[in-house]
A and B are shown apart, each in its own frame.
Chain A
Amino acid sequence: MFDYAFYWSMVWAKFPMLLDGAFLTIQITVLSVVLGLLAAIPLALWRRNGKGALALFASAWIESARNTPALFQIYMAYFGLGAVGLHLSSYTALLIAIVFNNAGYLAEVLRGGLEGVAPQQAPAARSLGMNAFQSFTYVIFPQLFRIIFFPFVNQVNWALLNTSLGMMIGLRELTGATQMAQAESFRTFEFFLVAAGMYYVIAKIISLGALTAAWRIFRD
């Protein structure tokens, strides 16, 4: 049964390919989180305070992002849009889909934050003579930030995991690159074990960064 020999040297030979994939993975993760957050802000506000059409639009986006698989959203971006004539590259389709997905989840995180700050904090600050900008910067935002911090970091991790789906539409991020790299030698297990390790390292870097930031900002 155990007549399988593990050939790690083959992985090492193709390591640069994996590394390139890793960089692409990190790039897409960061970009999708930033863009997703930017989109999530208006979505969260519209869902809470918007009138009619805007609130409906926001709810539709948020609920479809959260109740359908990420892979489905990626296929929609890649195949679905292709069917109506908009042919996107794998990179663009993946990015758009993950941004769409992130925005939906982050909008809910923001909502939790907004609901977590007592509504009387703003008038309390204003009654001391602060203007709207000051009251937001010094009173509302610090409280908001503390509430959303860890859910936000979770979402960054989530985005990282979702980038691996790029393989399914041919993108050479880390998983896709690994797939290509192992195609010649068929050392599937070894290659993907290394890839798994790389994902683990990236995830650890993210949580380490988050903990450091948390320690510095939330000095209680």
Chain B
Amino acid sequence: MIEIRNLHKSYGAQPVIRGIDLTITKGEVLCLIGASGSGKSTLLQCINGLEPIDSGQILVDGIEVHARGTNINQLRQKLGLVFQQYNAFPHLTALENVALAPRIVKGMSRAQARELAREHLAYVGLGDKVDAKPARLSGGQQQRLAIARALAMAPDYMLFGEVLDTIRKLKARGLTLIMVTHDIGFARESADRVAFFDQGHICEIGAARQVICEPREERTRQFLQRVLS
């Protein structure tokens, strides 16, 4: 379970997250929608500690992410992050990209890590590209590589920021998925809950169908109208 309590964050003088309370239960699929700059992607980066916070708390399975004594590297193994700009390591082949972290962070043997990498690359549909360098892969393929790389660490939660190919079969693996998306159709069909972000706080959150088809808040309605037309 991920708990976010009264989170505030600014970039310098610019407030980006203005008081967010959110609880994400295990196994659920949560989609974050909203205009750019409303804080969705920043929230994901705060959850895995890549961005510092100003006040509030984020707890992952009871461990406070931004507390001093927390072993953040260990925590990050539970949180898989796939962001469009966190691209592949260009100097390694696809296989080496996926096998690297399991080997050096989890201490797997080279052979084990490579086997694991092969499995995951096949899973995302890159089975025939194991020896290719990222420069030879298309944008979509590079993103699937990033997904395979994150999955290989066996996380409990996956955080997605604006991915191109969303992989729907990840739901079947029982992972908790938190994703930023502009694909309202996908959010409606595949998400359990949808949270609408407006200027740094959550304006409305609820069951996917409800928020998208029968939004309670006026701002949500305006946003959806603009986006869907």
Contacts and interface: CB of A to CB of B under 8 A. Distances in A.
Whether A and B touch (Cβ < 8 Å) is answered with yes
Interface of A: 118, 120-121, 123-131, 134, 138-139, 142-143, 146, 220
B202 interface: no
B101 A129 contact: yes
B104 A142 contact: no
30 contacts: A118-B87, A120-B83, A120-B85, A120-B86, A121-B89, A123-B86, A124-B83, A124-B87, A124-B89, A124-B146, A126-B76, A127-B81, A127-B86, A128-B76, A128-B77, A128-B100, A128-B101, A128-B105, A128-B149, A128-B153, A129-B73, A129-B77, A129-B101, A129-B153, A130-B101, A134-B105, A138-B100, A138-B104, A142-B91, A143-B89
Contacts of A134: 104-105
A139 B89 contact: yes
A142 B83 CA distance: 22
Interface of B: 48, 50, 73-74, 76-77, 79, 81, 83, 85-87, 89-91, 100-101, 104-105, 133, 146, 149-150, 153
A146 B91 CA distance: 9
Nearest to A121: B89
A-B complex: 10 closest residue pairs judged by Cβ atoms:
A124-B86, A128-B101, A129-B77, A127-B81, A129-B76, A129-B105, A120-B85, A142-B91, A131-B73, A129-B73
A125 B76 CA distance: 11
B48 A127 contact: yes
B165 to A, nearest CB: 18
Contacts of B146: 124
B139 to A, nearest CB: 15
A131 B89 CA distance: 16
Given A124-B83, A143-B89, 13 more contacts: A120-B87, A121-B89, A124-B87, A127-B50, A127-B86, A128-B149, A128-B153, A129-B76, A129-B101, A130-B101, A130-B104, A134-B104, A139-B100
Given A120-B85, A143-B91, A146-B91, A128 B50 contact: no
A213 to B, nearest CB: 16
B89 A127 contact: no
